Amino acid sequence: MGRCIVLLWLCLCLPAAPALAQETVFYKCTDAEGRVSMQNGTPCAPGMRQEIRRVGEVKAVPAPPPKPAAPEPAAPVQYGEFVQVGGPRPTRKPAPEAADLPSPPPLYQCRTWEGQTYYGETDHPPARCAPLQVVGLDGRQASGMAAACEVKHDECSAVPDDQLCAAWYRRLDEAEFKLRYAGDDTRRARQAEFDAIDARIAASRCATRAPSPAAVP
């Protein structure tokens, strides 16, 4: 009898086993119509078929950190034409007093067989000669052989009327750039080219300064 009392006293003093506190029970419930539902820790309603699954402690998984925002795609590179990215940019616009002057001469935007573009005053510029590779009878290339080329024509399209002023200003900018860096052997020709383009602009509604009284029709 004394031994039983001692054992009972030891059982009361020992802490409760933590296994049950860590256990998680999932209930699989099936109703009379065969619909199945899963419940965590809550038994099925009366009249339902109940199946249980015991698992150990279910630890919460921290949410993954948010992914960094994807960088914005870079602007596409423009090929085929020069694009100014630095340096002074001349600002030209028609003067209000030039609104009554006639339209400037037509311009054509042309593209060469090499993909280069330019503005011209005719839609039928002279043909270009694209060089061809010359080989001997044995198929090998050697120096001193005759030269050959293929005649190619530039493709040109008329500049719309509402874009004529901008196109003429572009021609003037290019002529001014060439004149600024001209050598002694080309300065006279480039000055004449610049003056001719500037005169055409000044006599049209694209004039950037008030026209003289003699220029007004």
Mean pLDDT of 15-29: 64
- The pTM assigned to this predicted structure is 0.52
Mean pLDDT throughout 206-215?
Answer: 75
Model confidence band, residue 5 (pLDDT cutoffs 50, 70, 90) = very low
Bigger pLDDT: 37 vs 19: 37
Cβ(124)–Cβ(155) below 8 Å: no
Q: Which residue has the higher pLDDT, 37 or 216?
A: 37
Q: In whole angstroms, what is the distance from residue 191 CA to residue 198 CA?
A: 10
Q: Where are the domains of the chain?
A: 21-56, 96-210
Strand-by-strand arrangement of the 155-158 sheet: 117-120, 108-111, 155-158
Q: Give mean pLDDT, residues 129-147.
A: 67
